[in-house]
Amino acid sequence: MNHTAENETRAGLGTFEKTCGYCGARFRVLGTVAKDPLRSQAYEYDCPACGKRYEVQSGAEPEVRLLRGRTDGKDDQYQETMF
Ligand SMILES: [Zn+2]
C-alpha cells in the first residue's frame, strides 16, 4: 500500500525559468510536454511584471509564476507594437 501522487509531482518537464528581456523580472513557466508532439502548440504568456508577451511550445496552457520582481527600476508596461 504505497500511494504516490504521480499526477502532482511531475514537475520538471516543460517547466523552465526565464528572465524577461525587457524588465529583468525572473519567472517560472509551468508548461507541459504533450505526449503526442502534434498536440503541442504555441501558447502565449505574459511577463507578470511588465506584460511583455512570449511564446512557448506546450501541451497545455502554461502557468506563469513570478520569482523575482523586475530589475530595471521602472514601473511602465511593455509597449506592444500593434501595427
Ligand atoms: Zn518583463
| 8 pLDDT above the threshold of 50 | no
Q: What angle do CA 7, 14, 46 make, to 5 degrees?
A: 115
CA 66 to chain centre: 9
Centroid of ligand 1 to alpha carbon of 37 (angstroms): 29
Centroid of ligand 1 to alpha carbon of 67 (angstroms): 12
Which pLDDT score is estimated for 63?
96
Which pLDDT score is estimated for 82?
63
| 7 pLDDT above the threshold of 90 | no
Centroid of ligand 1 to alpha carbon of 39 (angstroms): 28
pLDDT digits (tens, 9 = 90+) for 9-63: 444 578 999 999 999 999 999 999 888 888 899 999 999 999 999 999 999 999 9
Q: Which residue has the higher pLDDT, 80 or 58?
A: 58
